[in-house]
Amino acid sequence: MLTPQDYIQYQKQSSHIKEFKTPINEPGLKGITTDPEGNVWFYHSTNKTSAIFMFDPKSKEYRQFDIEGTTTVDNAIINLAGGTACLR
């Protein structure tokens, strides 16, 4: 029988990657990007809330931009794949 460890392996092999703890303690990360100033932006959505976060790696501070409305998803597979969520 296969376990989750058979599918997922993580080995830190580079000193070029830095990890920072996010201010969120639940699953829901949908996407991540950077801007020309080096800030990191990511979208977080659950079945109840949606927000966009900005992380400044110089100050190591997060800013949260809440998205008003109720989050709904038409298809659970699309949601798991990081697809589009509709706001109502």
Which DSSP string corresponds to 31-54?
Answer: EEEE-TTS-EEEEEE-SS-EEEEE
* pLDDT score at 83: 45
- The range of the structural domain enclosing residue 58 comes to 27-87
Length of the chain: 88
* pLDDT score at 9: 60
Q: Please tell me the pTM assigned to this model.
A: 0.59
Residue 30: in which H helix or E strand, if any? strand 29-34
pLDDT, tens digit only, all 88 positions of the chain = 667 666 666 566 666 667 778 888 888 888 888 899 989 998 888 877 888 999 998 999 999 998 887 656 555 444 444 444 444 3
Is 81 within a domain? Answer: yes
Total number of domains constituting the chain: 1
Is 60 within a domain? Answer: yes
Q: Let me know: does 54 contact 65? Beta carbons within 8 Å.
A: yes
Structure tokens at 36: 């020309």
User: How far is the C-alpha of 87 from the C-alpha of 1, rounded, in Å?
Assistant: 40
